[in-house]
Amino acid sequence: METRTALVTGAAQGLGQEFAVALAGCGYRVAGIDVVPQPRTAARVPAYLELVADVTDEDQVAAALEQVIDRFGTLHVLVNNAGVYPESAFEETTPEEWRRIMRVNLEGPFLVTRAVLPYLKAAGWGRIVNITSAAVLTAPPTMVAYVASKAGLIGFTRALASALGPYGITVNAIAPSMVRTATAARTVGAGGGFEHVRAQQAVPRTQEPSDLLSTLLYVVDEGSGFLTGQTLDVGGGSACL
């Protein structure tokens, strides 16, 4: 098998960083996009291609993809991980905040996927993985905009899988619970969010980034070509209770 190339969005920290490290550990050449520099990710990933770009800006995405192709010549895997998850009462959500959440969580994956698609088609093999959320199933009342954006990403996953199956490209989504990352701890976790979510799960502990790595590697595996259009709920059984 030729050496595969993967692109991870939101790769500076948290889940995106761990995804980049895991893919590199399986032999992938890895590029990462984030709105900030990624020195910690670069320190953990051999020959890492660090791309500073905003996934909601079409021109910046195109320029980043040019760098990927110039460096690696091809692309096989896209992980749409970049996202925002602010909490607020629905009545306090402004139209501007609603649009920001939709841009990052839904339009960003659309723009990046559209940009990488010609390269995946040219390679004749591809894996697109969208990171959604188990919150789509648990529906927390203070995250209406976030839940709506992630539900849209599930619909995007299903329809795109139908469109890309003939090209040897699979499209799947992974839905985590609230993962212990620095950003989550600073935002939704600061007011007891981890404890609240943990109480709703069948698995009574806070989810760690490492809990998602085997699922990601399974979805992108060479042998997973018959798995597409699916959302894999890795939420600790939160939807079961």
The two structure tokens encoding residue 153? 């990403």
Cβ(67)–Cβ(2) below 8 Å:
no
Cβ(156)–Cβ(164) below 8 Å:
no
Residue 34 has phi, psi (to 5 degrees) of -155, 165
The two structure tokens encoding residue 137? 């199933």
Q: Which of 160, 90, 164, 159 is nearest to 125 (CA)?
A: 164
Q: Which of 76, 66, 77, 21 is nearest to 47 (CA)?
A: 21
Residue 123 has phi, psi (to 5 degrees) of -75, -20
Sign of CA dihedral 38, 3, 23, 231: positive
User: Which residues have a catalytic role annotated?
Assistant: 146
